[in-house]
A = this chain, B = another copy of it.
Amino acid sequence: MAEDDRPAPGRNLTHRLLETTGRQIVTGHYAERPFPTEAELATGHRVSRSVTREAVKMLTAKGLLSARPRLGTTVQPEARWNLFDPDVLRWLLERPASVPLLRQFHQLRRAIEPTAAGLAAQTADAAGLAGIADGLVRMQQAEQGHDDPLEADIAFHVAVLRASNNPFFAQFRDVVGTALRFSIQVTNRIKGGTADVAAHGAVLAAIRDRDADRAERAMLAIIDDVSDLIEGSAGGGPRA
């Protein structure tokens, strides 16, 4: 079963082991079989116990594992996982594409981003506005093939999160980034998004006008637009 022994990048042995093991856990590799003991992990991966222990500690810190003497190291129930940890988030997406997960992502975006836009309208400073404006410019340039449309879109949404002046909202940049990147894999019929640029411009305008309500509605419209795409693509796939 060397199926999960993919290359696994990483600066050092500990990070490599962290990657492969984290991915294995999230993909349910240890759903039935017991998680290996410290010594087994070490010999199995040809690394020292130090490396093993440190990787296990990192996975523990992310909520994936729990270790106690005599009990051994065990996988924590999924509810304890730190889903907003960038690594965990990435591992979640590296398993076979699931439309349900994508839908859950967008339910979250639907809750977060309109409110963030509203907050930005109330509190954004010059730098925040400039960041959003810059994202919009990139989208316009992408329209003419001078920039990557996906990255430009992400930059815009992340800029809004930042401009909310609330670190908790800013924290969602990884979620938005992964959700958007993942969307394009599933609903790969997304074009440059000609209509989108106008909608995004409306958000910026509302924020500039300090009109929180309008900003919220404009952002909500954008996200619901994407959500429709997702639900549409579910036609060929399983619907929850």
- Cβ B82 vs Cβ A85 within 8 A: yes
Check if A240 is an interface residue, CB within 8 A of chain B. Answer: yes
Check if A107 is an interface residue, CB within 8 A of chain B. Answer: yes
Report the stretch among A35-43, A55-63, A192-200 that lies at the interface.
A55-63
A107 to B164, CA, bound (A): 10
- A225-240: CB near B (< 8 Å → 1, else 0) gives 0000000000000111
Check if A108 is an interface residue, CB within 8 A of chain B. Answer: yes
Q: Which residues of B contact A84 (CB under 8 A)?
A: 82, 84, 168, 171
- How many subunits of this chain does the assembly comprise? 2
Q: Which residues of B contact A82 (CB under 8 A)?
A: 82, 84-85, 171
Query: Which residue in B62, B105, B112 is a CB contact (below 8 Å) of A61?
Result: B62
- Cβ B111 vs Cβ A167 within 8 A: no
Q: Which residues of B contact A54 (CB under 8 A)?
A: 53-54, 57
Query: Which residue in B50, B61, B104 is a CB contact (below 8 Å) of A166?
Result: B104
Q: Known pairs A111-B115, A111-B169. 7 more at Cβ < 8 A?
A: A53-B54, A57-B57, A57-B61, A58-B61, A83-B167, A83-B171, A104-B167
Check if A78 is an interface residue, CB within 8 A of chain B. Answer: yes
- Cβ A108 vs Cβ B53 within 8 A: no
Q: Give 4 closest A-B pairs by Cβ, nearest first.
A: A111-B115, A61-B61, A58-B61, A84-B84
CB-CB nearest in chain B for A113: B111
**Which chain A residues in 54-94 approach chain B with CB under 8 Å?**
54, 57-62, 78-79, 82-85, 87
- Cβ B85 vs Cβ A107 within 8 A: no
Minimum CB–CB distance from A147 to chain B (whole Å) comes to 24
A119 to B77, CA, bound (A): 23
Q: Which residues of B contact A169 (CB under 8 A)?
A: 107-108, 111
CB-CB nearest in chain B for A11: B68
CB-CB nearest in chain B for A107: B166
For this complex, 21 residue pairs linking A to B, each with C-beta atoms less than 8 Å apart, are A53-B54, A54-B54, A54-B57, A57-B57, A58-B60, A58-B61, A59-B61, A61-B61, A62-B62, A79-B167, A83-B168, A84-B168, A84-B171, A105-B168, A107-B168, A107-B169, A108-B169, A111-B111, A111-B114, A111-B115, A122-B238
